[in-house]
A and B are shown apart, each in its own frame.
Chain A
Amino acid sequence: MLRRTALAAASLLAAGLLVLTACSGGGGVAAPTSPGEPDPDASVAVRLVLEPGNLDIRETAGSALDQILVDNIYQGLVARTPEQDIVPALASDWTVSPDGLTYTFTLREGVTFHDGQALTPQDVVWSLTTRRDTPAWRDAARLANVTSITAEGQDVTLTLSEPDSSLLWNLTGRAGIVLKEGDTVDYKTKANGTGPFVLTEWRQGDSITFERNDAYWGDASGAAEVVFEYIPDNQAALNAALAGEVDVLTGFDANLKEQVEQNGDFALVLGTSTDKGTLAFNQTSGPLADKRVRQAIRQAIDHDAIIEALASGQTQYGPIPELDPGYEDLSDVAPYDPEAAKKLLKEAGYEDDLELTLTIPSFYSTTIPQILVSDLDEVGITLDVDSVDFTTWLTDVYTNHDYDLSFVLHTEARDFENWANPDYYFTYDNPEVQDLYAQSLAATDESEAADLRKQAARIVSEDAAADWLYNGASVVAVGTNIAGMPSINVNERLNVAEIAKSNG
């Protein structure tokens, strides 16, 4: 009896690991237009993959929170569009002084929180100051350059110690979220923001429900209710779509295009995203410290074959994806050429006897490791694949830098800073890149900042600091009666304010 019980417990644990096998796809452009009249009372069901552990927007890490809570529930002075442009939100307008040291925002009047309290300039001052001074709050460090935050009338002024071209962008994220000063809401399970939706229910392990905020300061949302259903498994999500139980599938698999479109009720939409499938090289010592070996690995990998296997996404040969400022096509740096790779390996003294280990979190599909093993085998590198639990990856690779090669999908937008940080797990240390990045932050002109990043990105790629296996796509299946579903980078941010459903 006890033995059976122990086995049961073990299988429970094993089954626990299965949940992670569903892996996410990418973002996009406006979905197919809907034929019928939108129904303002409609409820729209959206399938998501990853459920947040809790809803604490102040402290809890994870894009699962940002994805649905920022923009829809919580807002900042400014917001970003799916196309990554910065637009007004709680501030109707802003000005930046020519020296880039003073930002003045004009706060909208008549904005209320979901519990009915009014938004005051003091709430903004308190939110930003508390964020900056509380290390436990996410992205506190992104406000480190801000020396003072003050309000006069409806004007909120941020003064900086040095110019920061990323400040506005940072204010569109966690760092800029405006909360009610002294709010007593239980942030872990509830929410109180200023956005177009009110969070009405979180059924853990199942769904999160938003309802239209009738007191919203801006345009009313297209749907009366949006229900996010957490369905980790793609096959189950497909069945739910075919049975008409969900209206939109996000994080879907482009290989299932035919199945989901078979009866004409759904269309698969591919949007661009900032998902970067990053093959990191531990270049502190050993064979990978030799740039020729790293370059050989890059040239041995058939990137087009990876895109084909995923049926979505595009190639990316440098650290900056197309959606981010500073992108340039770097395919000339590491073209697919196994012969050249063999030559480089021979020069470096590793002919046919190089053995490396790839550490990869277990929730990614086996497609990537399979391609890598066979491509590298072609040029005489034996690749062992060590598939580990994500928390193990965090400890071994991320914290202790104990790895040869590592694969992780980095989804965050504008995260070039990691290449300028020698302590990051990428182990890439080039003072020239660090200097260029610092200059780009200090630039007061956006195109100048982007240009400096572009230069830095080329160097990172030429140093073969890592390989970028692919730039993922947002894979979304949208019901043909749904309009206004964003498709760009929806795994990072999913603004559902404009989604509308028609009965036709």
Chain B
Amino acid sequence: MIRYTLTRFALLLLGLLVASVLIFLTLRVLPGDIAHLIAGVGSTPEQQDAIRERLGLDRPLPEQYLTWIGGLFRGDLGTSLLTGTSVVDELAQKAEVTVPLGILSLLIAVVISVPLGVLSAMRRGRASGTGLSVGAQTLAAVPVVWAGMMLVVVFAVWLGWLPAQGFPRSGWSDPWAALRALILPALTIGIVEGAMLLRFVRSATLQAVGQDFVRTAAAKGLTRDQALLRHGLPVVGLSVITVLGLQVAGIIVGAVVIEQLFSLPGIGRMLVADVAARDLPKVQGELLALTGFVLIVGFVVDLVHRVIDPRQREAS
């Protein structure tokens, strides 16, 4: 187990290193000159050079990269070129919106997909099972933006139950208002991601039905559904945990789109604005933080999987 953990951890670090190089290089080949953008249309080359020098953009790429990575080890993701504020502080502030939004979306996705997925597998061949399956297929294909628009039109514009956009300026000091602002965005992500998850749960359940131990349980007198629920579901749970790790990346991407649509001041919207403004240190820090988060979730999922799956435990 220890050896396994260390190997996984080494892979995690390697992944982060590769990601950091990729992020750094990708942003450097993006067309457009930040110095020009800051100095503005109509600025002189001298003004742009001065800005470039002040920001350290005139130094060789390896040096810029090493400076950035050096800062990382001190927990310093750099500072914004435009406002001079620390990227870590900004991320922490925007996380107040994005993290609850992500958790809520994930919860909604799981609550929708697991029971319905299992049900649809158990009812396979019957009208209700097929209906669920087709419904999920359709929902999974719906663009997240369109789903969001529809929810806004119904619940905010027609019924007036929930806000159409924005996040209260008082933040979480009024938890109910803050939560209300996140319900529609989370539903939007949750439904679309949940529909994808539902299909996965369904096929995992179908697989479990065919397993020897489920058949044995059925042979010992349980009905097929009883055997599945009692002995098959733990196996389904394992696969779902693995997929949830991947789902986190999907939810982050979803948050980027949804935060635009609902004008939520979260990490996704900040990232988009920073890309447009070519605030390279900030985009770099944000992308690395997000990538790191996804990689760490993957790492944790691997470990959890190992701990709770008796078959894997014995193998080690």
B40 touches A206 (CB 8 A): no
A53 touches B265 (CB 8 A): no
| Given A61-B39, A395-B31: A136 touches B268 (CB 8 Å cut-off) | no
Instruction: Tell whether B92 is near chain A: CB-to-CB under 8 Å.
Output: no
| Given A17-B276, A19-B272: A236 touches B298 (CB 8 Å cut-off) | no
Residues in A neighbouring B160, C-beta threshold 8 A:
243-244
Instruction: Tell whether A382 is near chain B: CB-to-CB under 8 Å.
Output: no
Instruction: Tell whether B46 is near chain A: CB-to-CB under 8 Å.
Output: yes
B276 touches A16 (CB 8 A): yes
Contact of B165 among A53, A136, A239 (CB under 8 A): A239
Contact of A240 among B39, B83, B166 (CB under 8 A): B166
Instruction: Tell whether B244 is near chain A: CB-to-CB under 8 Å.
Output: no
A239 touches B249 (CB 8 A): no
Query: In the complex the two chains form, what is the Cα distance from A138 to B19 in whole Å?
Result: 38
Contact of A6 among B22, B163, B275 (CB under 8 A): B22
Residues in B neighbouring A398, C-beta threshold 8 A:
41
A15 touches B249 (CB 8 A): no
For residues 245 through 275 of chain B, which have their beta carbon under 8 Å from a beta carbon of chain A? Answer: 245-246, 249-250, 252-253, 256-257, 260-266, 268-275
**B108 CB to nearest chain A CB (Å):** 20
Task: Among A11, A15, A62, find the residue whose CB has the most chain B CB atoms closer than 10 A.
Answer: A15
A392 touches B31 (CB 8 A): yes
Contact of A1 among B33, B40, B256, B298 (CB under 8 A): B298
Query: In the complex the two chains form, what is the Cα distance from A201 to B168 in whole Å?
Result: 13
Contact of B157 among A60, A188, A189, A239 (CB under 8 A): A239
B15 touches A204 (CB 8 A): no
B166 touches A205 (CB 8 A): no
Instruction: Tell whether B5 is near chain A: CB-to-CB under 8 Å.
Output: no
Contact of A209 among B84, B169, B269, B290 (CB under 8 A): B169
Residues in A neighbouring B47, C-beta threshold 8 A:
135-136
Residues in B neighbouring A232, C-beta threshold 8 A:
260
**B97 CB to nearest chain A CB (Å):** 9
Q: Considering the complex, give the chain B residue whose CB is closest to the CB of A398.
A: B41
Residues in B neighbouring A4, C-beta threshold 8 A:
246, 249, 294
Query: In the complex the two chains form, what is the Cα distance from A399 to B37 in whole Å?
Result: 12
A240 touches B32 (CB 8 A): no
A135 touches B165 (CB 8 A): no
Instruction: Tell whether A231 is near chain B: CB-to-CB under 8 Å.
Output: yes
Instruction: Tell whether B23 is near chain A: CB-to-CB under 8 Å.
Output: yes
A54 touches B83 (CB 8 A): yes
B43 touches A61 (CB 8 A): yes
**B36 CB to nearest chain A CB (Å):** 5
Query: In the complex the two chains form, what is the Cα distance from A2 to B149 in whole Å?
Result: 32
For residues 46 through 91 of chain B, which have their beta carbon under 8 Å from a beta carbon of chain A? Answer: 46-47, 50, 82-85, 90
For residues 153 through 186 of chain B, which have their beta carbon under 8 Å from a beta carbon of chain A? Answer: 153, 156-157, 160, 163-167, 169
Contact of B40 among A61, A207, A227, A235 (CB under 8 A): A61
Residues in B neighbouring A15, C-beta threshold 8 A:
253, 256-257, 260, 268, 272
Across the A-B interface, the 5 shortest Cβ-Cβ residue pairs: A391-B32, A61-B40, A16-B275, A206-B265, A243-B164
Interface size on A, residues (CB 8 A): 59
Residues in A neighbouring B287, C-beta threshold 8 A:
9, 12
A391 touches B272 (CB 8 A): no
B83 touches A19 (CB 8 A): no
Instruction: Tell whether B193 is near chain A: CB-to-CB under 8 Å.
Output: no
Q: Considering the complex, give the chain A residue whose CB is closest to the CB of B294.
A: A5
B23 touches A19 (CB 8 A): no
Instruction: Tell whether B152 is near chain A: CB-to-CB under 8 Å.
Output: yes
Instruction: Tell whether B231 is near chain A: CB-to-CB under 8 Å.
Output: no
Residues in A neighbouring B40, C-beta threshold 8 A:
60-62, 138
| Given A205-B94, A389-B32, A391-B278: A242 touches B271 (CB 8 Å cut-off) | no
**B286 CB to nearest chain A CB (Å):** 9
Q: Considering the complex, give the chain B residue whose CB is closest to the CB of A418.
A: B42
9 residue pairs bridging A and B, Cβ less than 8 Å apart = A5-B294, A60-B40, A189-B84, A229-B166, A230-B263, A232-B260, A240-B165, A242-B157, A391-B278
A204 touches B276 (CB 8 A): no
Residues in A neighbouring B279, C-beta threshold 8 A:
53
For residues 206 through 254 of chain A, which have their beta carbon under 8 Å from a beta carbon of chain B? Answer: 206-207, 209, 227, 229-233, 235-236, 239-240, 242-245
Task: Among A6, A17, A53, A244, find the residue whose CB has the most chain B CB atoms closer than 10 A.
Answer: A53
B263 touches A206 (CB 8 A): yes
Task: Among A20, A245, A391, find the residue whose CB has the most chain B CB atoms closer than 10 A.
Answer: A391
Instruction: Tell whether A18 is near chain B: CB-to-CB under 8 Å.
Output: yes
| Given A203-B265, A240-B165: A1 touches B295 (CB 8 Å cut-off) | yes
**B279 CB to nearest chain A CB (Å):** 7
Query: In the complex the two chains form, what is the Cα distance from A478 to B8 in whole Å?
Result: 58
Instruction: Tell whether B291 is near chain A: CB-to-CB under 8 Å.
Output: yes
Query: In the complex the two chains form, what is the Cα distance from A465 to B33 in whole Å?
Result: 28
Residues in A neighbouring B277, C-beta threshold 8 A:
53
Query: In the complex the two chains form, what is the Cα distance from A19 to B257 in whole Å?
Result: 10
Residues in B neighbouring A388, C-beta threshold 8 A:
31
Query: In the complex the two chains form, what is the Cα distance from A203 to B278 in whole Å?
Result: 19
Mask of B109-138 contacts with A, CB within 8 angstroms, 1/0? 000000000000000000000000000000
For residues 419 through 471 of chain A, which have their beta carbon under 8 Å from a beta carbon of chain B? Answer: none
Other than the given A17-B276, A240-B164, 11 more pairs (CB < 8 A) read A4-B294, A12-B256, A15-B272, A61-B43, A204-B265, A205-B273, A233-B260, A236-B263, A245-B166, A394-B36, A395-B31
**A215 CB to nearest chain B CB (Å):** 24
Residues in A neighbouring B253, C-beta threshold 8 A:
8, 11-12, 15
Query: In the complex the two chains form, what is the Cα distance from A188 to B278 in whole Å?
Result: 17
Residues in A neighbouring B7, C-beta threshold 8 A:
none
B275 touches A239 (CB 8 A): no
Query: In the complex the two chains form, what is the Cα distance from A456 to B263 in whole Å?
Result: 45
Residues in B neighbouring A61, C-beta threshold 8 A:
38-43
Q: Considering the complex, give the chain A residue whose CB is closest to the CB of B94.
A: A205
Contact of B169 among A1, A188, A207, A390 (CB under 8 A): A207
B41 touches A239 (CB 8 A): no
Mask of A129-149 contacts with B, CB within 8 angstroms, 1/0? 000000110100000000000
A395 touches B32 (CB 8 A): yes
Query: In the complex the two chains form, what is the Cα distance from A19 to B256 in whole Å?
Result: 10
Task: Among B42, B163, B262, B278, find the residue whose CB has the most chain A CB atoms closer than 10 A.
Answer: B42
A245 touches B43 (CB 8 A): no
A17 touches B164 (CB 8 A): no
**A29 CB to nearest chain B CB (Å):** 28
Q: Considering the complex, give the chain A residue whose CB is closest to the CB of B36.
A: A394
**B150 CB to nearest chain A CB (Å):** 11
Contact of B275 among A1, A17, A51 (CB under 8 A): A17
Query: In the complex the two chains form, what is the Cα distance from A448 to B158 in whole Å?
Result: 58
**B314 CB to nearest chain A CB (Å):** 25
A245 touches B32 (CB 8 A): no
Task: Among B39, B157, B273, B276, find the residue whose CB has the most chain A CB atoms closer than 10 A.
Answer: B276
Query: In the complex the two chains form, what is the Cα distance from A43 to B237 in whole Å?
Result: 51
Q: Considering the complex, give the chain A residue whose CB is closest to the CB of B90.
A: A204
Residues in A neighbouring B152, C-beta threshold 8 A:
239
Residues in B neighbouring A389, C-beta threshold 8 A:
30-32
